[in-house]
Amino acid sequence: MFSLESYITPIILSHVDKYVKDFRPEDASISLWEGEAMFANLDLRLDVLEEELNLPIEFLSGHIYELYIFVPWTAIVSEPVRIHINTIEFVVKLKSGESSSTSSSPKRKRKPPPPKPTPKTDETPQQPPGAGLINKIVHNIKIEIENIILKYVEEDIVLSMNVAYLCVCSADENWKPAMLDVNPIKVLLRKLITISDLTICLDKRNSSGQIEVCMEPILYRCTLECRILRKHDIRTINTRSTTRIGIFTKLIDINISSLQFPLVMRLIEIVSAMQNDKVGAQISHYEQPDEAETTEVQSGYGVLSYVTWAWNLIPTITFDTCDDGDDCDSALPCHVNDFGFYAEQISFTLKNAELISDSVMGTQKRIRYLPVVSISLGGIYAEAVMAKERDWSSIKAGLSSIYIVPLAETNDPSDEAWVETETVEFVKSFIDKSLFDENCLIADKGWISTSYDDYRNRITDDYLMYRSPVLAFDVVKYKPAKKDDENQIGRKIIESLNEFRVLSAGITCRFQQTFQQNP
């Protein structure tokens, strides 16, 4: 006899057991059958996290203070299972050379697994009894996390990040949280990730490892929304799929002081070094190609290596509902990945900072800030599309408004110097054809193209200036159609081509006497 509890409970608890130390699923299953289970003071399996993320960082500690699991057995078909975490804390550091080489050495000798045989198009995968209902319940699990704390320590740098609230749930066609049905063949996955009150602090510690005075956050209470769309057919997953990821924010307010600026530059160098190590590990993961194929392999990486690195951080998600019929099957015989970032406004404020002694506070010091310049950017977008099988990649970026004004104190407050756009107010054309465009339907395939001629016909100069009238940037990397002529060793000569476009209009620069006086 089919028992829903006997199937759902082990699946949920197996995920907890995978990441938590000293967890006993047999003890928790009894509580879960009652509809609610609570766990406290859980230590995470750091080795599993490092293996899953595959980053050049090492987890020093990971701890969950409270974990709740709510299973609405009486409304299991209409309400999602909720996993609620109250305070999760991580401490990480950069991997040393020895630990990095030790962890990556087995991967260098490993060969890629052979591809799984693809079922014929007229065959339908067999599903066990109740599989449709189980899949619906499992793939609609809602995850809520309150208070995420991440601390990174590198020499005298202390970088801490705090997220007040994070939610991961399924979404309907209007990108609203919903409980969706599951189609085992035609796959259409929509996941909505909301991040509230993201705060990033950057401090410096002394030789004894103590932070003498805490500096202002470089990013304070930022809210982000991430939308993930995945489309494929189970029968053709090895040959074609579509994955789109979009991140949107209304405001990013960044404040950097003169004491933090050297630390920021060092972090940028560390991230660049991490990226180079990541790319090298990915290339060495496979067997070295012969000399004639080396050019083709290297040209496939190119300018989008950062996006490829970030793409590997996204966990593999199987399938969800599909209600668009044949539109779920990608019309392109390749795997297409599309990533986009969109911001209504990004504000940068640069400040001079100095440590001063305060007689009221005794021996403790405080920081005095003097704002120098403010840079406000509006209507920003950056998009990257990759189709590896077609050796195609494209990047588009744009800016809709810019405003720069000095903030230093002067004798004449009316005397200012600035750089601004002719029209500061802008329409939301920068999100055109994105996951955040309400007028762009999922069935509309006009957003993607892996053909150079078709791309140039769609993405014209006028269209780029429509999306971002101030500044538009476009890079296309592709390989032309293969020629019939061959070289002396019988291999076809294929060269990768790059094309760049930079368009700009509507910027006004004014330089007055104050501009010369300000440092």
Higher pLDDT, 390 or 165: 165
**In contact, 482 and 507? CB cutoff 8 Å:** no
How far, in Å, CA of 48 to CA of 18, rounded?
8
pLDDT score of 418? 57
- Please report, as a single letter, which amino acid is at residue 218: I
pLDDT score of 452? 80
pLDDT score of 99? 52
Nearest Cα to Cα of residue 306 among 284, 336, 274: 274
Question: How many Cβ atoms are within 10 Å of 30's Cβ, its own excluded?
Answer: 10
Lowest mean pLDDT among 13-17, 229-233, 282-286, 389-393: 282-286
- Residue given tokens 């067999």 in the structure block: 126
Give the tens place of pLDDT for each residue, 143-200.
999 999 999 888 888 899 999 999 999 999 889 999 988 777 888 889 999 999 999 9
Give the tens place of pLDDT for each residue, 460-487.
889 999 999 889 989 998 877 655 444 4
How far, in Å, CA of 491 to CA of 488, rounded?
8
Distance of CA 512 to the CA centre of its chain: 41
pLDDT band at 84 (very low <50, low <70, confident <90, very high): very high
pLDDT band at 361 (very low <50, low <70, confident <90, very high): low
pLDDT score of 308? 42
Whether 277 shows a pLDDT value over 70: the answer reads no
Whether 56 shows a pLDDT value over 50: the answer reads yes
Domain boundaries, given as residue ranges, for the chain: 155-517
Whether 20 shows a pLDDT value over 60: the answer reads yes
Lowest mean pLDDT among 53-62, 77-86, 139-148, 422-431: 422-431
How far, in Å, CA of 46 to CA of 61, rounded?
7
pLDDT band at 342 (very low <50, low <70, confident <90, very high): very high
Q: What mean pLDDT, rounded, does the chain reach?
A: 75
How far, in Å, CA of 254 to CA of 373, rounded?
12
Span 323-341, average pLDDT: 64
Whether 305 shows a pLDDT value over 50: the answer reads no
Per-residue burial over 291-318, b if 16 or more Cβ lie within 10 Å, else e, is eeeeebeebbeeebeebbbeeeeeeeee
Higher pLDDT, 22 or 223: 223
Nearest Cα to Cα of residue 283 among 114, 496, 108: 108
Structure-token pair, residue 98: 């020895």
Beta strands 365-387 and 418-421, pairing class:
unpaired
Percent share of the chain, pLDDT over 90: 24
Structure-token pair, residue 432: 């055109």
State the pTM of this model: 0.78
Lowest mean pLDDT among 122-126, 171-175, 226-230, 238-242: 122-126
Higher pLDDT, 12 or 341: 341
